[in-house]
Amino acid sequence: MMKGRYSQFLFWLSLAGALALTGGPVGATIINHYGGVYGGWSTNWNAISGINDPIDPLAEGRLDFVGDGNNPGGYYAADANYVYFRVQVHDSAPASNVWNGTLMVMIDLMGQGASNVPEYSFAWDTRQDAPNHGLELQVSNLWGTSWSNVRMADRDGSNGQKIAPPDFSLSGGDGYVRTVDSQASTNFGLTTYVDIAASWSFLRANTTLNTGQLWRVQFGSINLANDHNVIDYDVAGGVNPSDANSIQTWSSAIMVPEPASMALLVLAGLAVWRFRRK
């Protein structure tokens, strides 16, 4: 009996590993948009509270953030090497060549800089010109009273091209972007996940972001333009670009997990499982 249970455990562990390597659930189309193929995407996502969003009457569903209590609109995860963000948009199966605009994951690092102002942003400039666009690391540039006044600037100081470092390189493991489509939801039909990964080594060298910090998060989108324009299409959390960018329009604070602590929790869980089997 013990041998059979152990074999079952190994089977499910192998299946989980296979799903992690393929990058997502069976039946979904996964498109690697930037950075190449990465086999270490998180499979343990934490929902971001306060960032859910209803369907908006927007023509470009791929730039429309959606989420509710059944299917949260934003997630984050972390391991020893990367921090991950997952954004849910209202489009069932966008092809690689139909993206036209920008998706931004903005971060307000609590206790640093002005409150309610994003110190950094991970922006996916979706133009099909990877050497000059793609995943961009941004810093605050223009900040007004509404989200439609918000404009970020490239960390590398060059809005016309990518310079690595201090920007995400096209290859080399600094950052990745992929989409996972055909995600069934309770109230939004089939949706798509936009997943972003940024390496801790890159962030520690070029930002003040690190593990063990409190962050607030907000999503913004720009239609038919790159990431050097103001937010004009959608903001998560039931917020419109014309709304005031008050502290209430950000997510609840998230604690980016310490990778060492995460590893200890996994080992502790395995130890408990083996003890109970005995």
pTM over 0.85: no
Q: Does the pLDDT at position 70 exceed 90?
A: yes
Specify whether the CB–CB gap between 131 and 162 falls below 8 A. yes
> Closest by alpha carbon to 103, among 169, 161, 177?
177
Predicted pLDDT of residue 128:
64
Q: Does the pLDDT at position 186 exceed 90?
A: yes
Q: Give strand pairing partners of 142.
A: 151
Q: Does the pLDDT at position 210 exceed 70?
A: yes
- When the pLDDT of each residue in the chain is averaged and rounded to a whole number, the result is 82
Q: What is the DSSP string of 100-150?
A: -EEEEEEEEETTSSSTTS-SEEEEEE-SS-TTTSEEEEEEEEE--SBGGG-
Longest dimension (CA), the chain: 66
Report the percentage of the chain scoring pLDDT > 90. 54
Helix (H) or strand (E) holding 276: helix 259-277
Residue with more model confidence, 129 or 154: 154
Predicted pLDDT of residue 7:
42
Q: How far apart are CA 139 and CA 107, in angstroms?
A: 10
pLDDT digits (tens, 9 = 90+) for 33-51: 999 999 999 999 999 999 9
Q: What is the 3-state secondary structure (H, E, C) of 64-76?
A: CECECCCCCCEEE
Q: Does the pLDDT at position 16 exceed 60?
A: no
Give the confidence band of 132 by pLDDT, cuts at 50, 70, 90. low
Indicate the number of domains in the chain. 1
Q: Does the pLDDT at position 255 exceed 50?
A: yes
Phi, psi (5° rounding) for residue 55? -65, 130
User: What is the pLDDT averaged over residues 51-77?
Assistant: 95
pLDDT digits (tens, 9 = 90+) for 221-237: 999 888 888 999 999 99
Instruction: For residue 117, give the amino acid letter.
Output: V
Instruction: Show the domain range for 164.
Output: 2-277
User: What is the pLDDT averaged over residues 124-137?
Assistant: 78
Q: Does the pLDDT at position 205 exceed 80?
A: yes
User: What is the pLDDT averaged over residues 101-113?
Assistant: 92
Predicted pLDDT of residue 19:
37
Residues in Cβ contact with 89 at an 8 Å cutoff, skipping those fewer than 6 apart: 61, 62, 63, 64, 65, 66, 103, 191, 192, 193, 194
Predicted pLDDT of residue 168:
84
Report the percentage of the chain scoring pLDDT > 70. 78
Q: How far apart are CA 222 and CA 41, in angstroms?
A: 26
